[in-house]
Structure 1
Amino acid sequence: MRLRNKPWAKDEIRNNPSIVIPDPKEGKGKWKELFGNENPIHVEVGTGKGQFITKMAEQNPDINYIGVERYDSVILTALERISQSKRNNVKLLNEDVTELLSFFENNEVSRVYINFTDPWPKKRHEKRRLTYKDFLEKYQSIMKEKGEVHLKTDNQALFEYSLHSFSLYGMVLQNVSLNLHQSDFEGNVMTEYEEKFSQKGMPIYRCEAVYR
């Protein structure tokens, strides 16, 4: 992904601490206090420009959403979307997903979304894939019992790898779709990439994996 540099991004992020949390390590174990309610917390890793998480927050006011995105120039668009939506049930972390355990306590999250992540196709980069076993262990560490990972991708190889990885980890697969937009799945919220790929007629792969 080629990113356009936005030199004003850091200042804009810094000026919106109610949306992009300045020091998420201080929120560890205290996210319900920050949101001001006891609602479930769902996390999107690699939230990109924020279309998915903003729409999910709009449609599900009884769920708290946290998007994790490390690139300043990308999370800036997500910040703008959330600000315009005026939703108070969605926050952003301008951080690397590898640091999740620093931001969330055990049993603090109910669901993790992985949408159109980099497939890292080369074997030597396997450990960077967000469905690699080390990441599955991180997600489980912060999730409640029977927490869920929801995956969407346009990359067949990554999807097949992820199904295998989920299974090896002992997770239960459900709602597996090899062509989401031709399935009977209801309530799908599209990301920016998903809209682009589906307009080209490309199949979208989706599944849910549940921790035992």
Structure 2
Amino acid sequence: MADDAGSNDHGGTGHRARLRQRLSQGPDALLDHELVEYLLALAIPRRDTKPLAKALLHRFGGLGGLMTADWRAIAKMPGMGDTSTAAIKIVQAAALRMLKEPVTQRPVLASWQALLDYLRADMAFLSIERVRVLHLNSRNMLIMDDHMGDGSIDQAAIYVREVIRRAIDLGSAALILVHNHPSGAPDPSRQDIDITRQIVEAGKRLGISVHDHIIIGAQGHSSMRAKGLL
């Protein structure tokens, strides 16, 4: 496992002081690799963390990919360990907590952009396909963000019976289906459209509405409702 204790400080305290000074000017004052470099410097104080920061961003395809990467995948990188990996994942956790707050405190349909921002931060850069169902009450308040399962790199099964049974158990009045496309392109597949329509029809029989099926990708998002597919 990696050396979180670090080695001699090759980066110099002067360089870190300059990064800190620039950071105090606002979040856009540092480049992506400098943000990661400074974050890692807090976890590995006696080491030049710039090469490690650049290697991480290269390996995971940028800041979003790094923050959403699996813990084990990050920890396997040469130079990384539990403490430095935890530093990255705690930033992700804090960001998601902040983005989710407005989604949980207001009707979802009235905070649609906040919902999209939260879902993008959580799912856009995942390397596997993930399915979740947002359960809403009669006032369109979120009552459960239900992680239904993960799939392979290109598919995750959505089972109509499981979705509807869960909605009945929770007393849901409406649903928003969500999944991501690891390919980055958010356009719905034929299978996506077919399974969504099956869930819509099953929900109608029980008075459960399906507001939308949102597909998240690194290249953006797609709304089946907006595309006229529901």
Q: Would you call these one fold, judging by a TM-score over 0.5?
A: no
Larger RCO (alpha carbons 8 Å, 6+ apart): 1
Q: Which has the larger radius of gyration?
A: 2
Q: Which has the higher helix share?
A: 2
Q: Which has the higher strand share?
A: 1
Q: TM-score, normalised by structure 1?
A: 0.32
Q: TM-score, normalised by structure 2?
A: 0.30
